[in-house]
Amino acid sequence: MSRIGKLPINIPAGVTVTLKDNVVSVKGPKGELSQFVDPSIVVNINDNVITFSIDENNDTVEQKQKQAFHGLYRALVNNMVVGVSEGYKKEMELVGVGYRVSNQGNLIEFVLGYTHSIFLQLPPEIKVETKSERNKNPYICLESCDKQLLGLVCAKIRSFRKPEPYKGKGILYVGEQIRRKSGKSAGAK
């Protein structure tokens, strides 16, 4: 049995959860999400609590895979419940001379030291806010109810200029520490 899969999910006030044809739909004040659940996992919704159990009679999937699905689908549904009730937020900053960011609606423009600007059109589920203040690094704040989509977009943005260990330049999450390397000058003695 999965330790994560055994944990029940409490449904907060203002959130409705429905199950139809192995698809769990969650609706709340921040949005609406749905997730397919493998038939080898049984989902029970009783008294504002969602529980997951393994269907031992279903032989389409081997036992080890059922146990993996048990924890996986519980975590995915929990992320959906938290997302539609509270939402998720990721903050990033651009570290480097001349790095800039601006947005018009969901279209973000990055100036990252390349010969051209990079434009990224965000999905409508994500809200974006950018700040560029004097003597501070440019800042991006992304908010969404979908944790997977938010992580995917942040990884895409980060891939434009990954943080490098010598000067510490790149696109970082706020509060992230980069392990710095000393470079060539430290070894020449």
- Per residue in 127-162, pLDDT (tens digit) is 999 999 888 999 999 999 999 999 999 999 999 999
For the chain, the domains span 3-85, 88-173
Q: What is the mean pLDDT of residues 51-79?
A: 89
Mean pLDDT over all residues of the chain?
91
- The answer to whether residue 186 scores a pLDDT higher than 90 is no
Q: Fold match between 3-85 and 88-173?
A: yes
Residues 6+ apart with CB under 8 A from 124: 106
Q: What is the mean pLDDT of residues 120-125?
A: 94
Torsion angle, alpha carbons of 178, 179, 183, 185, to 10: 110
Q: Number of C-alpha atoms within 13 angstroms, CB side, residue 170?
A: 19
Which pLDDT value is given to residue 51? 93
Q: What is the mean pLDDT of residues 48-76?
A: 89
- Per residue in 17-60, pLDDT (tens digit) is 999 999 999 999 999 999 999 998 999 999 899 999 998 887 78
- The answer to whether residue 123 scores a pLDDT higher than 90 is yes
Which pLDDT value is given to residue 188? 59
Which pLDDT value is given to residue 46? 92
Two tokens, residue 144:
């969404």
Q: What percent of the chain has pLDDT over 70?
A: 97
- For 88-173, CATH number out of 1.10.510.10, 3.40.630.10, 3.10.105.10, 3.90.930.12 equals 3.90.930.12
- The CATH fold assigned to 3-85 is Outer Surface Protein A; domain 3 (3.90.930)
Residue 132's CB is within 10 A of a number of other CB atoms, namely 13
